[in-house]
Amino acid sequence: MVLLLVACGGGGSAPVRVDVRTDYVPVAEFAELEVSLDDGDSIMIHDASFDEDYLMGVRVASLEAVFRGSHTVRARMRAADGRRLAQRVVAIEVDGPQTVTLVFTRDCAGIECPGDGDVAGATECLGGLCVTPECTPENPRACGATQCTADSDCPGASVGCTRPLCSDGTCFVGTDSAACASSEYCNPEVGCVARPTGADDMGTGAVDMGTPGDGGADVDAGMADGGPIDMGLPEECGQPCDTGDLCEQGIYSCATGAPVCVRDRLLDAGTPCRPSAGSCDVAETCDGASPACPLDQFAPTGLACADGFCDGLGTCASGCTPGATCSTGNLCATGTISCDTGAPVCVRSGNAPNGTMCAATDNGAWGSCGGFGGTCGETGSRSRTVTIYACQSGACTASSSPQSEPCSRSTDGTSCGAVTYGDFGACGGFSDTCDTTGTRSRPSSTPTCSGGTCTSVAGTDTGSCSRSTEGNSCGGVTYGTFGACTYESGMCDETGSRTRTSSTPTCQSGTCTDVAGTDTDSCTRDTDGLDCGSQERLCLERFCTAGVCEDTFCPTGFQCCRFDGCFPDGVSCP
């Protein structure tokens, strides 16, 4: 669902659709997106969902009736614990219905814009580079040189389940879902890991969060249905930390699995960072552009104080002492006090020694943790640029050098090689005699990182299989009652047959079906002595003998009376 926000009305207005593209993982890395127009009080919240393809683009808001003219659209990406992961601001010119796409790329993490050498207006980051707010996929000419033209132009995969992806001139970290199990997702930093608890319960779409009390400041954006999702990460993740610089706020980032203190934001200009130590000392405040608190400065020479005048070096001195050391206000110059006018005046007397610090050291933001020893390596390093300001022949000169420190990540559970399989066992698990679909399993060996080492984890891979049961018996045959015995060869036939109905349970198309049939059985009778034909002559009879009709003359002990048939011997013929 996409929230419809009515920005303003009138005939000179048009709708603006807001899409987001990102290679951050929905739900697992970011839980929601906040969208607002012209820094207005009305904020839309789009809930992240595993089912949406954010790499290709997802519609997160529809701004209805936006006045024609210049506007800005702001989107903030937040993790489930409420911390802000990224922010994009785009500038658009509304002269009709249009769609604007805000792109968040993970290689912008830790990038501060504008950077050295960037134009002042390059306040946004895209593909690790600082660009102006006008830069969008719909306005590519405002983006300058493209980052890529093909996937091969992008950095190679850092873990086994990722792939480089070039789209609209920008490099994304694509993921290969087939490389992970169904219960896992691909974390581009560490590989295949278990889906976070509660991920299946996350909704899609957006809800109107109303007007926040601070007009859109960073607030706790925890889930309303019982708190943030359990991400399985250390509890420090997302909590404030001390980077060592007084004018920046740090936050523990767990992008690599282990908490690392990184810059979250610079403190606003005017934020106190060093209090005054006395009447001849001044308090220092952050300038809003550097993470370092300015060098300790003192009240100017000659400023009145309780005992007399400040000497420019933080001390309140009584009277005016000609030739005393003082500060001209230029840290690369030395000075002495002149009393020619009555009040102390610091006059430059020479250059400060070469190497004298003349401005606060500027520590750049730490880069990402890298240089790991293979897929399972957990110890790497990160670097930053450190700029120091020192006097050289009376001038404050800047010099920069790289600084590195060790860092770590957690790779436990990350895939570190291709899964190998043994042979499948027999197909089984059928629901009944006629079922044709079953399962079979085989042993698997999954190379998985554990404690910084690639270890083979034994498992079982289960798949579907099938068999043919067509025509198989699936039950006992039932019969009807036999009919009468029939004889086909004649009245002397002693062997015949009889039939009865049958019902045979038989598998057909995976189902047990009763098949009707006929069962035939043999039967017998005794026909010996049966009269089987008419007399042809008076002394000739036909009787069944052993199943055959045979001619029989007068039997033994009888005589043939020609016209009257057989009579016993000794009896006179009629």
* pLDDT digit string, tens, across residues 128-172: 899 999 999 988 888 888 888 888 888 887 788 888 888 888 999
CA separation, residue 28 to residues 18, 80, 90, 122, 147 (Å): 22, 8, 26, 30, 27
Show the CA angle centred on residue 326, arms to residues 324 and 330, nearest 5°. Answer: 150
CA separation, residue 294 to residues 311, 389, 514, 558 (Å): 20, 11, 95, 157
* pLDDT digit string, tens, across residues 280-300: 888 889 988 888 888 878 888
Average pLDDT over residues 529-550: 72
DSSP-assigned states of every residue in 449-505: EETTEEEEEEEEEEEEEE---TT-B-S--EE------B-SS-TT--EEEEEEEEEEE
Q: What percent of the chain stands above pLDDT 90?
A: 25
Lowest mean pLDDT among 317-321, 377-381, 533-537: 533-537
Residue 212 has pLDDT above 90, yes or no: no
What residue ranges do the domains of the chain occupy? Answer: 3-208, 420-466, 468-480+495-524, 531-568
Say what the pLDDT of residue 122 is. 92
Say what the pLDDT of residue 1 is. 43
- CA end-to-end distance (rounded Å), the chain: 123
Closest CA to 373 of 329, 406, 395: 406
Closest CA to 128 of 368, 302, 463: 368
* pLDDT digit string, tens, across residues 236-285: 677 888 887 889 888 887 766 667 788 888 889 999 988 888 888 888 89
Lowest mean pLDDT among 105-114, 262-271, 444-453, 549-558: 549-558
The more confidently predicted of residues 473 and 241 is 473
* pLDDT digit string, tens, across residues 60-91: 988 888 888 899 999 999 988 778 889 999 99
Residue 325 has pLDDT above 70, yes or no: yes
Determine the 3-state secondary structure of 34 from DSSP.
strand
* Mean pLDDT computed over every residue of the chain: 82
Q: What percent of the chain stands above pLDDT 70?
A: 87
Residue 377 has pLDDT above 60, yes or no: yes
Say what the pLDDT of residue 214 is. 38
Whether the pTM exceeds 0.85: the reply is: no
Q: Tokens 């052993």 sit at which residue?
A: 546
pLDDT band for 515, please (50, 70, 90 cuts): very high
Say what the pLDDT of residue 196 is. 65
Say what the pLDDT of residue 226 is. 39
